[in-house]
Structure 1
Amino acid sequence: MSGDSVPPGARDVTTASIDGGSARIMLVTARPGTSPPGGREMLGRLNRGILQELFGERLVVMELEKPEQGGQSLTLALRGHIDGLTPAVIAAVLRDIERERVGLVFLDGSNLGALAAAIKAEAPGVSVCTFFHNVEARFFWGSLKQRRSPRALAVLVANYLAERKAVRHSDTLIALTARDSRKLKRLYGRAATHISAMAIDEPVATRGIAAGEGPPYALFVGGTFYANRAGIAWFAEHVAPRTGMKTCVVGHGFEAYRQGLESPGKVEVIGGVDDLRQWYRGAQVVIAPIFDGSGMKTKVAEALMYGKKIVGTPEAFAGYEAVAAQAGWQCRTADEFVAALAEAEALDLPGFDPALRALFDAQFSRDAARTRMAAILGLPVMERAVP
């Protein structure tokens, strides 16, 4: 998009012309925020970077600015106009599809289903690929159960309706896990066409980090979305008092929950940090007491990247089943968590386990995700756009 065609709430960040007359690819994604990114935003940024590598100047990017909470009408939300996707934005996207000769639109989220429907109605020859960060209906159902309110119900309904449109009107559906694919089939009558696991970028060198000084601890890393809050609260009440290791809780926003979580010598809330490396360096093990959700948990891939074993629930290991036995311990009860943590504390675990890092590199790294994306989009595995 360019010039006066850009509506409020959207921004076109691509100015390159059509390369060689070939069809272009449009990415529709959320505008990066200024606060520390969560797992979804991290994966969205990774998808964007991979598409840029694969398509170079053929990539057109449309950024959506999420409106302020409460600044959107319920009627529009139930029509799928959520998360910055307004009627004006949809109209502008349709204009740019024609102007830029776009042949494929990549929607970074099933919350953008109203756009998929509009594209198929107005430009049926354009392929639509939707990337599912979660099964949004399942995710927001869990959120509603944790905090029942009219707003939470409205968010659930709006996302269900948008996601249903995404499933119905997309040519390609990419889910993170086979479990999510099955949920799409149950909810909407159609499974994902492709599975591509969670992947994360390596922000800085993480290989060979030495063990930290001082007493070892169990590390919990994550933002304050509902399943993280509920999981670490359960752990602090039922597991931490029975373990020999202190648990450190690292994550933006957890400062507000310090009073309810902390216990001297057992649980310490660190909150947001600028650099996770020092916290992984000193950790004996990473914990993931997550009992609800959808998609895959970023903290598990991140722990593998740092060469750390994980003590987590089956929910935390969803999508990681093939590597779970090597990656750590699966626990369903407080007793199982206590036993696993005692075993981890007794082991002489390295500060960085190269075997765990190898699992990350093979399946959950940027290179692994790029190879999968190229195959899904029909590109030769080694093809790369020339800058």
Structure 2
Amino acid sequence: MRIDDLPIRDELKGKSPYGAPQLDVPVLLNTNENPYPLPDALVARIAERVAEAARTLNRYPDRDAVELREGLAGYLTRSTGYGVDLVNVWAANGSNEILQQLLQTFGGPGRTALGFAPTYQMHELIARGTGTGWLQGPRNADFTVDLDAARAAIAERRPDVLFICSPNNPTGTAVPRETVLALYEAAQAVKPTLVIVDEAYIEFSHRPSLLPLIEGRPLLVVTRTMSKAFGAAGLRLGYLAADPAVVDAVQLVRLPYHLSSVTQATALAALEFTDTLLGYVERLKDERDRVVGELRAMGLRVTDSDANFIQFGCFEDTHAVWQAVLDRGVLVRDNGVPGWLRVTAGTPAENDAFLDAVRAATKEL
């Protein structure tokens, strides 16, 4: 029996699960992971905190993750200069679960979500998984949001949820503060619309966080993750900042005790090492900018990046370039954007291997 022979929902038939290729090659630069392992001192602190949590694993974890949310609120306040409290923050198993909870609460059957393609593919997949209709808005040729066209799309299609990904995945482009404000106002002019600003990569940006925009805007939500800047992709910890009413609302759909004691303990340990981990972020920002310059020096087009990855092209045969780079031991990502590939910023040695592979591939092809 095939999957489509099962009595699954119609909107899931013929679809493929999200995921990047997992291949055994020397240099993996296709999933936007932080390449730096956690420092030994942090690994030891995680072990201490998890050992403490293990003593009470016969009990359910803190359902409301109070200590963790207080820690995340403190981090946001210190890093952005905008004060948030426990009541403004909610955490879940990765930012994808945060997005799922938001769409379970504000989307669903008979409702729609709008995003600007190309963008993070999970926005559409989570919308589909929650029975939310997916609408696609336009971008300019340079992958920035076409504000006039976006306003027109919002007015015509009247979405219940609006996604703004900044920095945007896979293009790396950031959305200016003024554009976000204009889109929020345009959405609210039509009807009450939840506006989600996905800031998974904000720590790598040249621009400040849009978090302060939640002030006085009860339907604006900023989502974050510890997977990238904190080098904790294996932890699966995401969070949001919003008006307290939104935090209360998502708890209507969260599963009971959804964050394990071990997850909460590990995340709290990582927050203790914020300064060290953000030091790695600064290294990656320098390396990203170096790789951008090197690619442009080769004559390739590169989208301005505010993330820990770079979109580069343009190629007549994208797959051939992807394969030629892979043949030289470097895995990058083909996101399906015609003519473009995406590479994660790695260590200096990984980036050098990537640049050598691209030089060889472009000469060969």
Q: TM-score, normalised by structure 2?
A: 0.28
Bigger Rg over Cα: 1
TM-score (norm 1): 0.26
More RCO (CA 8 Å, sep 6+): 2
